[in-house]
């Protein structure tokens, strides 16, 4: 009888199946540690206020690379290093101008900004009539002769009805990305795009746009939602007014930049890697606080939490600060190429790139076994507001690892406020709440702890 109990005891104490009571205690300590450390919040303040917006190829991006490396070194993480890569480079140039000219000789300024990677108007700017359309579809249905030599104003109003604002974004972002191509093929000479946000404010939102080499590259501008409403009202009253647009933005030669990497080396299987990540570059008009300073802080804080709590992982936990998510994803591509070449074994890659608001779940890209395993952790997260364990997209930078068979997870956070800030001058440090940021670190650290302990094989 004693032997029977001994066997039971040994079974219980060595069992590797989830959940164990001890896990709840560890995860409680992870949350407590995250909520009591001001490091991530203070680091985010530094990145936002002392470095600021940091589009790839810029001086600020280079500064941010050096700064993140020094942060990782100061924590004493293992194997801190840079991974060199080439990035496209683009300069916004002088403050953009948009000025309406009316029949009666009066004028009115509108606040605009160039959309990312747009060509400029040239020093002299351009002045033409405007055609307002709702979206790409409405443009296609216009009399094409009418479009020639005009400026197309895409006034696609983002829809309030979506619960998840990323659905709103997907629905509304088309003109920003493809609007210049579509307008150029019909002979338009510039485009103005309503900002993709549900907030009624005066911030123009930038973001990436595309050209094709077979068509003339025409300048693209973003206008705030309030500005777009005003422009639309003006065009209703005076359809023939002209607008003067000027931007001196331009693409520069490609430039050297870097991913930044640091690790906590695994005890049992140091060759097996779990990646936590965010992207270090941001658009230039704001501070890149939610997009994606928060993700960078989450990743660094996961390693800090492990070290602070003396949790020595079985596998290596690697933080990657990806360069160039916003423009051409060179950092993510380079990282995946390197993994392919070296044959490094990755268990999974996790990315935080949806802002620093309250975490709510994980979006899992992987096979059914991976999804089932991550779902088996669900109960332990319920008390921490994490209730969404969904099959879905992981993250832009880590998506390049999927073709190597490496699964990925994207943090899901409360999306309601995200697009109030996204790609705009409004994406500043003050818009990130300390506790909400800390909870993101805790959520990812807890997930990493469980994956590291239990692996991703069933059961």
Work out which of 18, 20, 23, 35 binds a copy of itself, going by CB under 8 A: 35
CA distance 361 to 273: 22
Least separation in angstroms between CB 393 and a copy of itself: 17
CB under 8 A: which stretch of 1-9, 32-40, 219-227, 234-242 binds a copy of itself? Answer: 32-40
**Torsion on CA atoms 319, 323, 325, 327, rounded to nearest 10:** 180
CB under 8 A: which stretch of 206-214, 332-340, 370-378, 433-441 binds a copy of itself? Answer: 433-441
Residue 14 interacts with a copy of itself (CB under 8 A)?
Answer: no
Residue 360 interacts with a copy of itself (CB under 8 A)?
Answer: yes
Task: For tokens 């009888």, name the residue.
Answer: 1
Q: Which phi-psi region, left, alpha or beta, contains residue 97 (left: φ > 0; alpha: ψ -120 to 50)?
A: beta
Strands (DSSP E) found in 265-376: 269-279, 315-322, 345-351, 359-365
Residue 31 interacts with a copy of itself (CB under 8 A)?
Answer: yes
CB under 8 A: which stretch of 144-152, 302-310, 322-330, 429-437 binds a copy of itself? Answer: 429-437
Task: For tokens 């009624």, name the residue.
Answer: 200
Work out which of 3, 59, 161, 341 binds a copy of itself, going by CB under 8 A: 161
Total residues in contact with a copy of itself, by rule CB under 8 A:
27
CB under 8 A: which stretch of 144-152, 238-246, 251-259, 431-439 binds a copy of itself? Answer: 431-439
Least separation in angstroms between CB 160 and a copy of itself: 4
> Would you say 319 or 389 has its CB closer to a copy of itself?
389
Q: Judge contact between 308 and 317, C-beta under 8 A.
A: no
Residue 387 interacts with a copy of itself (CB under 8 A)?
Answer: yes
Residue 384 interacts with a copy of itself (CB under 8 A)?
Answer: yes
Residue 79 interacts with a copy of itself (CB under 8 A)?
Answer: no
Least separation in angstroms between CB 425 and a copy of itself: 17
Per-residue H/E/C for 150-161: CEEEECCCCCCC
> Would you say 162 or 393 has its CB closer to a copy of itself?
162
CA distance 417 to 102: 37
**Torsion on CA atoms 155, 159, 160, 166, rounded to nearest 10:** -110
Least separation in angstroms between CB 95 and a copy of itself: 27
Of residues 111 through 140, those in contact with a copy of itself by CB under 8 A are none
Give the count of alpha carbons within 13 A of 311, CB side only: 24
CA distance 319 to 441: 12
Q: Which helix (H) or strand (E) holds 263?
A: strand 250-264
> Would you say 22 or 36 has its CB closer to a copy of itself?
36
Work out which of 309, 436, 453, 455 binds a copy of itself, going by CB under 8 A: 436
Q: Judge contact between 228 and 236, C-beta under 8 A.
A: no
Least separation in angstroms between CB 420 and a copy of itself: 8
Residue 49 interacts with a copy of itself (CB under 8 A)?
Answer: no
Of residues 219 through 278, those in contact with a copy of itself by CB under 8 A are none
> Would you say 94 or 167 has its CB closer to a copy of itself?
167
> Would you say 58 or 197 has its CB closer to a copy of itself?
197
CB under 8 A: which stretch of 28-36, 106-114, 234-242, 247-255 binds a copy of itself? Answer: 28-36
Q: Judge contact between 277 and 420, C-beta under 8 A.
A: no
Of residues 409 through 428, those in contact with a copy of itself by CB under 8 A are 414, 416-417, 420
Q: Which phi-psi region, left, alpha or beta, contains residue 130 (left: φ > 0; alpha: ψ -120 to 50)?
A: beta
Task: For tokens 């693409």, name the residue.
Answer: 251
Least separation in angstroms between CB 119 and a copy of itself: 35
- Contact flags string 181-210 toward a copy of itself, x per CB under 8 A: -----------------xx-----------
Instruction: Transcribe 4-47 into DSSP letters.
Output: HHHHHHHHHHH--PSP-HHHHHHHHHHHHHHHH--HHHHHHHHI
**Torsion on CA atoms 112, 114, 115, 116, rounded to nearest 10:** -140
Work out which of 185, 375, 376, 433 binds a copy of itself, going by CB under 8 A: 433
Structure token pair of residue 444? 């990812």
* Close Cβ partners of 330 (under 8 Å, ≥ 6 residues apart): 56, 85, 86, 87, 88, 257, 323, 324
Residues at the site binding a copy of itself, with contacts judged by CB under 8 A: 31-32, 35-36, 160-163, 165, 198-199, 358, 360, 382-385, 387, 414, 416-417, 420, 433-436, 439
């Amino acid at each position: 009888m004693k032997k029977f109990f001994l066997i039971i005891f040994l079974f219980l104490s060595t069992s590797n199946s989830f959940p164990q009571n001890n896990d709840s205690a560890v995860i409680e300590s992870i949350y407590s540690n995250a909520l009591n450390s001001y490091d991530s919040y203070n680091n985010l303040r530094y990145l936002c206020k002392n470095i600021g917006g940091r589009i790839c190829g810029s001086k600020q991006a280079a500064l941010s690379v050096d700064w993140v490396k020094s942060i990782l070194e100061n924590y004493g993480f293992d194997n801190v290093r840079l991974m060199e890569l080439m990035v496209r480079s683009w300069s916004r140039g002088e403050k953009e101008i948009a000025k309406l000219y009316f029949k009666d000789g009066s004028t009115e300024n509108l606040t605009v900004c160039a959309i990312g990677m747009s060509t400029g108007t040239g020093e002299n700017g351009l002045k033409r009539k405007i055609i307002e359309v709702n979206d790409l579809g409405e443009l296609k249905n216009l009399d094409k002769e009418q479009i020639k030599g005009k400026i197309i104003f895409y006034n696609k109003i983002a829809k309030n009805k979506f619960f998840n604002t990323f659905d709103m974004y997907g629905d509304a972002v088309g003109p920003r990305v493809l609007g210049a191509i579509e307008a150029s093929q019909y002979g338009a000479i510039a485009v103005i795009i309503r900002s993709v946000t549900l907030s009624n404010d005066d911030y123009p939102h930038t973001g990436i746009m595309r050209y094709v080499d077979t068509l003339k590259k025409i300048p693209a501008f973003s206008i705030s939602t309030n500005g777009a409403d005003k422009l639309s009202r003006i065009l209703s009253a005076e359809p023939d007014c002209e607008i003067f647009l000027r931007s001196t933005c331009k693409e520069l030669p490609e430039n050297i930049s870097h991913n930044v990497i640091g690790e906590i080396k695994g005890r049992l299987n140091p060759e097996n890697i779990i990646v936590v990540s965010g992207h270090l570059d941001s658009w230039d008009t704001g501070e890149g606080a939610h997009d994606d300073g928060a993700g960078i802080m989450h990743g660094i804080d996961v390693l800090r939490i492990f070290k602070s709590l003396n949790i020595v992982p079985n596998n290596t936990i690697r933080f990657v600060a990806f360069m160039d998510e916003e423009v051409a994803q060179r950092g993510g591509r380079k990282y995946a190429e390197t993994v392919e070449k070296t044959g490094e074994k990755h268990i999974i890659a996790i990315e935080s790139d949806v802002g620093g608001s309250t975490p709510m779940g994980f979006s899992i890209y992987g096979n059914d076994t991976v999804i089932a395993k991550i779902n088996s952790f669900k109960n332990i997260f319920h008390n921490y507001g994490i209730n969404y364990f969904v099959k879905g997209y992981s993250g832009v930078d880590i998506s390049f690892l999927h073709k190597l068979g490496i699964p990925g997870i994207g943090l899901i956070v409360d999306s309601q406020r995200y697009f109030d800030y996204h790609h705009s001058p409004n994406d500043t440090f003050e818009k990130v709440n300390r506790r909400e940021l800390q909870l993101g670190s805790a959520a990812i650290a807890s997930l990493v702890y469980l994956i590291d302990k239990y692996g991703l094989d069933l059961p």
